[in-house]
Amino acid sequence: MRVLFCGDIVGRSGRDAVLREVPRLREKLGLDFVVVNGENAAAGFGITAKICAELHGAGVDVITGGNHSWDQKEVMAHIAQDKRLLRPINFPPGTPGWGANVFDAPKRQKVLVINVMCRLFMDALDDPFRALDGELAKHRLKGTADFILVDVHGEATSEKQSIGHFLDGRVSAVIGTHSHIPTADAWVLPGGTAYQTDAGMCGDYDSVIGMKKEIAVQRFIRKIPGERLAPAEGEGTLCGVLIESDDATGLARSIQPVRLGGKLPATVIGAP
């Protein structure tokens, strides 16, 4: 399978980059499945039902979340009924929505997407390792799923790497989100799981992690409350990874960084 995962969408610039590039990439790369993290898609804070519909209409199969999943009040009702919009699986029992689901892909294949949030420097949630173990007790590669993707939403690189090694050989890919900065460590772990510590964001990189740089910089200089942070509005870069798996095992054959448009140098990504 060929699966595209795109990092955190930040504001309109990020949405425009995804809406512009995903339809083209689906055709050019022969993609079987597309997942994006959308927790900052609505003006940098949360996501709405309308934005979900726009992303699905552009060819996004599943949208994952994180610590900003609940920033838009209307999402509470929507996430309770939209199985294609995930939130971290390790929120306490009774939280609306789903942290993992199995989805249909072409050629009668199945894709399991799991969204989990780390705990170091983040909100105090349930143990992500235990939550992942619990979900994977119900699923296995080439059993209930042909491809298993885990979005690890977290601040600490050490925690993300630990989860990658913890899941190595059990899932197709472990990809980090949340820091909005793409890391240069895309590789296939020894057990066959594709890994990158952070996919980066889809948004304007002439910014401070997607927000207008002037406002963000002044917050550090003055150390007093000021103007509300707002997304930068320049041309967005789509940042993500392209993962190709072995249909016989469900494990990864390769992982390539994807960067298109905006300020960052573009990557050269292979054709089918």
- Of 68, 49, 55, 50, nearest to 14 by C-alpha is 55
CB of 11 closer than 8 Å to CB of 210: yes
What distance in Å separates the CA atoms of residue 27 and residue 39, rounded to the nearest whole number?
26
What distance in Å separates the CA atoms of residue 114 and residue 104, rounded to the nearest whole number?
15
Residue of 68, 78, 153, 178 marked catalytic? 68
68 is catalytic: yes
Half-sphere exposure for 242 (CA within 13 Å, toward CB): 21
Instruction: Spell out where 61-126 has E strands.
Output: 62-64, 100-105, 109-117
Strands 194-196 and 238-245: unpaired
CB of 117 closer than 8 Å to CB of 125: yes
State the CB neighbour count (10 A cutoff) for residue 59.
19
254: phi then psi, degrees, rounded to nearest 5: -160, 160
Residues with a catalytic annotation lie at 68
